[in-house]
Amino acid sequence: MKILAVEASGSVAGVALTEDNILRAEFTLNYKMTHSQTIMPLINEVKQYLNLDLKSIDYIACSAGPGSFTGLRIGAATAKGIAMGIKKPIVPVSTLAGLAYNVYMTDALICPVIDARRDQVYTAFYEWKDGKLNTVVDDRIAMIDDVIKEAQEFNKTVIFVGDGIFVHADKINSVNTFVMAPASCNMQRASSVAALAAELVKEGRYIEGSSFVPVYLRKSQAERELEEKMLGAKAND
């Protein structure tokens, strides 16, 4: 089973190809370029190095959100374009679950945190049990102080991953049972998206390419600002 994975939910642009649980290729960039500049060139690199015919791919895995609105749209458009072109299904993978999957088979609780600005993060809690990544608390947006308090209530070691660890490092490091994941696994990885997608395929959790829609968890900044203006205008009437 060949899976092409696309990761564009945050600052990281990533593409990976797995075949029967073997990572054949992975390219990752996290430096000063937009995903519109990087994702397709990275896919082309995979094609070139592996002499890959896209029609040989069985599934397209895509980081489905939450995360950057622009990044998610670019990732979704890329995945949908390929999936519909080769008539293969898409496996939507929670960005937070993909981050948690980076930290494999630990006894600690895993808490992905993606910066959502204004002291908010996209977050969830996960744990490994019987060789499977399980959701303890579902994906949501929350204030970082509430996440820190909730994590402490588990009374166990908590590993934090995601770009939110850099923004809120002081708060995370203030608790001695909290650990910030190292550079090798603290950001989104397309290979983790592919590996988790392989598990989801076994559960039948894939869809037609045309049906794929990212998960934003909240309205975009532009939409929020427009609503605020409209409410302000009504208040002044």
102-129 mean pLDDT: 97
Q: Parallel, antiparallel, or unpaired: how do β-strands 120-129 and 132-143 relate?
A: antiparallel
Rounded CA gap, 125 and 103, in Å? 12
Which domains can be identified in the chain, with CATH numbers?
2-95+188-223 (3.30.420.40), 97-180 (3.30.420.200)
Q: Which DSSP string corresponds to 196-229?
A: HHHHHHHTT--B-GGG-----SS--HHHHHHHHH
The whole-model pTM stands at: 0.92
The length of the chain in residues reads 237
Instruction: Give percent above pLDDT 90 in the chain.
Output: 91
Q: Parallel, antiparallel, or unpaired: how do β-strands 120-129 and 59-63 relate?
A: unpaired
| DSSP code for 182 | P
**pLDDT tops 70 at residue 207:** yes
Mean residue pLDDT of the chain comes to 94
| DSSP code for 119 | T
**pLDDT tops 80 at residue 116:** yes
**pLDDT tops 70 at residue 225:** no
Residue type, 169: A
Q: Give pLDDT tens digits for 28-84.
A: 999 988 999 999 999 999 999 999 999 999 999 999 999 999 999 999 999 999 999
Torsion of CA 91, 97, 103, 107, to 10 degrees: -120
